[in-house]
Amino acid sequence: MLPPLIPRSRLFGNPCRFGPQLSPDGMRIAWLAPDEGVINICVAGIDMKNARFVSRDRDSGIYIYLWAKDSRHLFFLRDDRGNENRRIFLANLENDEIRELSPFEGIRVQQVITDRHFPNEVMFGMNLRDRRCFDLYRYNIETTDLILEQKNPGNYISWVTDNSFRVRGALAAEPDGGRTLLIRKNTLTQPETIMTWGPDDTQIIHGFTGDDESVYISDNADSNTTCLYRLALNESGKTALISDPDADIAYLMIDPRSHEVQAVSWIKDRLRWESLDPAIAADFSNLTKAHAGQYVVVSRDQLDRRWLVVYFSDVEPGTYFLYDRETRTASHLFASFPTLSDFRLANSRPLEITSRDGLKLTCYLTLPPGLEPRHLPLVINVHGGPWARNQWQYEPEVQWLANRGYACLQVNFRGSSGFGKKFLNAGNREWGRKMHWDLLDALDWTIREEIADPDRICIYGRSYGGYAALAGLTFFPERFACGIDAMGPSNLITLLNATPAYWSTEKAKLRHRIGNEELEQEFLRSRSPLFFADKVRAPLLIAHGANDPRVKQAESDGMVAEIRKNNGKVEFLVFPDEGHELLKPRNRLRFYAAAEEFLAEHLGGRIEPVSLAERSIST
């Protein structure tokens, strides 16, 4: 027997509190919380007393922020109704003044950089001069001066600063989709090529070492999975520090004072840490004992006396602790979703399933608690990206599906990140083909094991996952009883033609991984569900944000029109005040209420009654 229904408002409403950060001086904590239903920044003392909101957004909310190094100001980014043209603001904690640092229409801010030795300054990228690329600007909090620090020649993706807050280099895009790291070996020289990578390689620049003589990087140029290196700027080259043969590096811990790497983590099926610094070995041991579940240190003060730590698992959305390194004690701060503790959540089981051509697919299967795991209706929940991955963690959609009586299958299909270069690049040019075959192979495993009812399968996803839902119902229409597509592309030609101007440095890599919209239109048509809409036989629910800059609403408009022209059954939900994500709780609740009714009708699961406020506007 299934446990009681978990209200959609508990699963898809705003968290109570999340995303905390310590002030650099370690005396205050900031976090994100709903204020009149909109996510804003809240600040309190280290004892969590006298909390107050320091931002006042009343639209989509604030999700990106960081402390100024003076501990008296906060920077935050916000856009307009999901259009992702993020602008940067400065909140003064002493007088509650909010100042916009980028008061320009149609621009986007990214890569905000601060330095503890320059507490009154910040640098950030902004595409003011040319919408296709980001120049670097320096802003002084005290004088309010905004100056152009470095001009982008056109192909720079991100900037690298040293420990004196000087711009020393950049990561640049190459015409073939590869990357080049350019570094000034000293402040008097011009940038030199230090490393080059091909389009199939992965690289992350972690920053300078404390002596400014080397740079930490992770890459897989000489290996399958990423390895952490110290890359010297003299002739000694790069020194391998640590790697794992089965997974790419996930998170690093870097000492805020010495800039030395202290710990590294990987995620194959679950998160695993390895300490490189004996000085934190006792801290890791204490954190392991303080609370159950995986953990990540999300924030540290400048003197490294205090850490903010989040614990999470498949049934725990996130519980935060303040860890004092001097006393070796961890104090509970808050849980993101405390009201979920009243309900029984479903465990997710990691699986390794072999594809038809021998690839190992890391999957997660979540079964509805209280039901015999035989011949269940199943939703295959396809992740977006597609160069991303599923993890062993709390997922509100997964818990919602299991609570309503559905098995939920998550598949890290080829092209997913985190499993090495060969696995990632096995997805190149395989949209709608081998990437989708992996989904079917994992699905077939659940059918052979008699877990899933083959006649009651839904394919659902967002972004690339939405594309996969459309591909499933067009290229493999006999396999699915229904599908749900949220913000998914239907035409790969128009998807690539309509990328935002500031994606110019990513265009070559997109063409390498998907196809060339100028030279390979016939190939891309063969992988685009829009041109096979007449094959759709199963009912389909499509949702889209009208302001989506990544996947334009026209992708869904065209698919809906073609299906209706062929007398197919499709419901269409448009959210005029959203972009690529549903950030407003009322819109999330409307979407999931409609999806819940849709699944109940076509797969037979249970449903929470839909309120009048949750009735979405359909077209």
Helix (H/G/I), strand (E/B), else coil: 380: strand
- Exactly one of 243, 580, 602, 616 is catalytic; name it: 580
Which residue type does 249 have?
I
Ramachandran sector of residue 546 (left: φ over 0; alpha: ψ -120 to 50; beta: rest): alpha
Helix (H/G/I), strand (E/B), else coil: 5: coil
CA distances to 54, 95, 145, 220, 379 from 99, in Å: 12, 11, 13, 42, 46
- Sheet with 156-161: strands ordered across: 156-161, 167-173, 179-183, 192-197
Residue 101 and residue 143: Cα distance in Å, rounded? 12
Q: Scanning the structure block, which residue is given the tokens 């080059």?
A: 196
Q: Tell me which residue of 608, 610, 611, 612 sits closest to 6, measured CA to CA.
A: 608
Question: CA dihedral in degrees (285, 286, 288, 290; nearest 10)?
Answer: 170
Residue 214 and residue 231: Cα distance in Å, rounded? 5
Question: CA dihedral in degrees (38, 40, 46, 51; nearest 10)?
Answer: -60
Work out the angle between the directed axes of helices 585-603 and 396-403 (0-180°, nearest 10).
Answer: 40
Q: Tell me which residue of 101, 104, 108 sits closest to 122, measured CA to CA.
A: 101
CA atoms within 13 A on the CB side of 25: 9
- Tell me, yes or no, if 580 is annotated catalytic: yes
- Exactly one of 70, 219, 441, 548 is catalytic; name it: 548
Cβ pair 401, 348 in contact under 8 A: no
- Residues contacting 480, CB < 8 A, separation 6+: 457, 458, 459, 472, 473, 538
Q: Tell me which residue of 396, 515, 383 sits closest to 438, measured CA to CA.
A: 383
Residue 520 and residue 619: Cα distance in Å, rounded? 33
The two counts, helices (H) then strands (E), for the chain are 11, 35
Cβ pair 219, 201 in contact under 8 A: yes
**Burial category of 507 from C-beta neighbours within 10 Å (exposed 0-12, middle 13-18, buried 19 and up):** middle
Q: Which tokens belong to 238? A: 């790069």
Q: Tell me which residue of 449, 474, 468 sits closest to 531, measured CA to CA.
A: 474
- Tell me, yes or no, if 548 is annotated catalytic: yes
- Exactly one of 463, 528, 556, 616 is catalytic; name it: 463
Residue 18 and residue 334: Cα distance in Å, rounded? 8
Q: Catalytic positions, please?
A: 463, 548, 580
